[in-house]
Each structure stands twice: as structure tokens, then as C-alpha cells.
Amino acid sequence: MVPRKRLLIGAVVADMVDADQCKGFDPLPRLSIGIPVFNGQEFLPGLLESLLAQTFRDFEILICDNASSDRTPEICREYGQRDSRIHYIRNERNLGAIENFNRVFAFATAPLFKWAAHDDVHHELYLETCVRVLDDNSDIVLAHTGTAFIDEKGEILPLEQETGSFVDPRSGKRYWADGPGIGDTPVAAERFWQVLTRARWGTHMFGVIRHGALQQTSLLPKFAGSDRAMLAELALLGRFRCASEPLFFKRLHTNVSYALGHKELKAFLSTDGRYYSRRLRQMKAFFGASRGKPISGLSKAVCFILVAVHSARVAIQFVTQGDPRTAAHGYGWSGPLARWPRWRTPG
């Protein structure tokens, strides 16, 4: 077999092979896994170990390092020497988290794609389960599994059966995973509405996605919560499906992005220093989500109305109840459950 050649583009290492060498060349993998990372030395090894232990093995791992200043480069090179499926790319400067997420997708070559956050981990059956769902259902564009929350040490938080929440024993905060039924309906506008109103964590974005479908979206626009805007576009292209087993483990730790203040979060997501209104960018993304999608004019009109209704609900909620990130059934709640309605729209 012809080994992959390496091409240096600026400070970015990419894989390529000459056209006349394709004969006898190892076929492209079925799945590209993109890992955008910045200073991830604490948890990156745990993610890589969980991916290398997968029962489904036909994948490549693309690590896009956002100019880390810790041991992240050394860790990536060590793992790259252990497994030829791992490819390391380093940005010359920190581009911000969102641009780095989008950048790693640009290097993907496989028909299936998955983002993986450096601090999450996966059960060994995760990829096999998701790929099987896509293989068995041509109308599914995104496959995922149930989600459980883990702490800094990788221990699964206790599940409170009465409320369906994961409870942090130290803080008493409750965390509700996104429902597995989000996006699993044949009606495009209904899928769109479910993403708008029920995707609190946006963990579906870490599922296995058809590359061609993801290419038809705007990817992640530059504002906090842009994962939901991308998922809203994707929902108009096809159904989502989640296996019921919790094979995806989302880590909660001190430096997790959702815990940052608004100013810190803006600087983390984008380094261009531009002032902008998150709400205006969010509304622009949602109102424009149906543009160019293969749905009827009536469905596009319905989506437009749904965004208007959702925006009004969020505005009223923010004025009367405050930041949805600290709401009951929001991101993390430590107050009495009876104080708030059971459902809370994500902002």
C-alpha cells in the first residue's frame, strides 16, 4: 500500500496523496473524528483512550490544536506515534473555539463526521451503535446515543429517578440531558421546533453526522449557543436518531465553557475582539436556517413563524426569570424544583 504523504501548509499538517498513486492506496476511512482543542492536557488523553478502544475502528482522528501552551502538542504527537489513524494539526495562533470547530471539519475526508470535545468520553460501543443507525436508515442524518454526566474524575453522576436528572453530590446541582427524541420525526418544521425549544446542551452535535448533510449547513456561527443554530439547519435536512443507551459521557468540570461568564465566553469562542449582540446573531441564524434547504415554501414560512414565537418566549423569560443557564431543568439547578415550571426554553 502507498503510505500517505504529508504536506505542510503554513503551520498546518494535512494528509494528501497524488492522483496517480491512488491505485493500491488504503481506502478513505468511513468516519472522520474532529477534535478541536486548546490547552487540553488534563482530559485529552481520556478522550483519545476512549476513541481508540472503540469496537468500530474504520476512522481517522483529526486533532486541531488552537495554539495550546500546555502539554497538548506532546500528548498529540505521542498518541500519533502509537496509532497512524491520528493526525495532528496546529494553528499558528488561537482562532477561537468556534472557528477551530469549523476548521477541523474542513480537513475531514470520510462520508461520516463526528466532533469530539476534548473533555468528553465515549463507551466502547458508541461509534458502532451510531454507525449502525445510519447504515440502517437512509433518512437519518445524525445518530447519537443517550447522555450521562461525569465529574472531573470520570465518575458518572448519580441519576435521580424521580426527576430524571443527574445530581452532583458536591454541589447538589441537577443536570438534565437533552431528550433522545429531539429531531426524530418525519416533519421538518417539527424537528426544527424541537431543536429550538428542547436542545439545552446541544449534545446532539457530538453525534455521528453525514458529511454531505453537514456541508449544507453554515456550520457554527460565531456566538454562544451556535451549536443549536447548526443543529436547527441540520434538522431541516433529515431526521436525528438516538439510541436509548447512555454511551456518551459529558464531563462537568471547573473550566467547562458553559460555566464561563458572558465576557469570558465571548473571548473563548472568538478571538477577533469584535463587539456583537449574541441575541441578534442568534436570531439572524435561526431566521435564515431554512434558506436553501430542500423543504417546501410553506415549511419555510412555518419555520419563520416558529423562530418569531421562540424569540418572543425567550425575551419574556429573560425579563421575568433571568439567565436560562441557571434555570430549573436548564443547565444546572440547585434550587427547589417547585419554584419554576417544569419546562424552560433554552436561550
Whether 74 and 196 have beta carbons less than 8 Å apart is answered as no
pTM of the full predicted structure? 0.84
pLDDT at 257: 58
In the predicted model, residues of the chain with pLDDT beneath 50 are: 1-25, 326-345
Q: Alpha carbon 290 to chain centroid distance?
A: 20
> If DSSP states are collapsed to H, E and C, what string results for 268-328?
HHCCCCCCCCHHHHHHHHHHCCCCCCCCCHHHHHHHHHHHHHHHHHHHHHHHHHCCHHHCC
Cα distance between the two ends of the chain: 51
- Could you tell me the fold of the domain covering 5-289? Spore Coat Polysaccharide Biosynthesis Protein SpsA; Chain A (3.90.550)
* Coil, helix or strand at residue 31: strand
Rg, the chain, Cα only:
20
Domain boundaries, the chain: 5-289
Residue of 180, 185, 213 lying closest to 198 (CA atoms):
180
pLDDT at 253: 82
* CA distances (Å), origin 139, targets 56, 142, 191, 203, 339: 22, 9, 13, 20, 41
d(Cα 283, Cα 232) in Å, to the nearest integer?
Answer: 12
pLDDT at 313: 86
Record the cell numbers describing residue 274, joined without a space: 469584535
Record the cell numbers describing residue 144, joined without a space: 447519537
Whether 115 and 206 have beta carbons less than 8 Å apart is answered as yes
pLDDT at 340: 34
Residue of 344, 338, 307 lying closest to 326 (CA atoms):
344
Q: Phi and psi at residue 283, in whole multiples of 5°?
A: -65, -40
Q: Phi and psi at residue 65, in whole multiples of 5°?
A: -90, 120
H-helix segments, the chain: 44-52, 72-82, 97-106, 126-136, 188-198, 211-215, 226-235, 262-269, 278-287, 297-321
Whether 208 and 109 have beta carbons less than 8 Å apart is answered as no
pLDDT at 18: 35
Max CA separation in the chain (angstroms): 68
